[in-house]
Amino acid sequence: MPTYNKLVRDRIPEVIENTGKKFSTRILDETEYIEQLKKKAYEELDEYVNTDNKKDAIEELADLLEIIHTLAEYHDSSIDEIEEVRKLKAEKRGGFKEKIFLIEVEDE
């Protein structure tokens, strides 16, 4: 039986159960939960980085966005509040659309 030891989406046990397979799960405490959410964010980002087509890229970005929504809620925030912070930062410092690559800055 494969061992996963990772945070999964809420309906994954139902999906596995519908295949007739046996499995085991447990509910994480708050400390483990945030730790596993952060770990999952890295996992999903790595999967995005390793995509080689638009369809897979969109799928992985959707997974990342789900993690961001969940983390926002965990921190008693919302995606709307995060979007407001993003907009303010973009107004103040810009976005990444101009493809600027900083090479060096002279020290005085």
Tens of pLDDT along 11-41?
999 999 999 999 999 999 999 999 999 999 9
Radius of gyration of the chain (CA): 19
- Residue 76 backbone zone (phi > 0: left; psi -120 to 50: alpha; other: beta): left
One-letter identity of residue 42 = Y
Report the half-sphere exposure of 63 (CA within 13 A, side-chain side). Answer: 22
With a pLDDT cut of 70, the percent of the chain lying above it is 100
The mean predicted confidence, pLDDT, of the chain is 96
Contact yes or no for 48/64 (Cβ under 8 A): yes
Per-residue pLDDT of 61-71, as tens digits, reads 999 999 999 99
Q: What is the pLDDT of residue 108?
A: 83
Contact yes or no for 41/67 (Cβ under 8 A): yes
Output the pTM of the full model.
Answer: 0.86
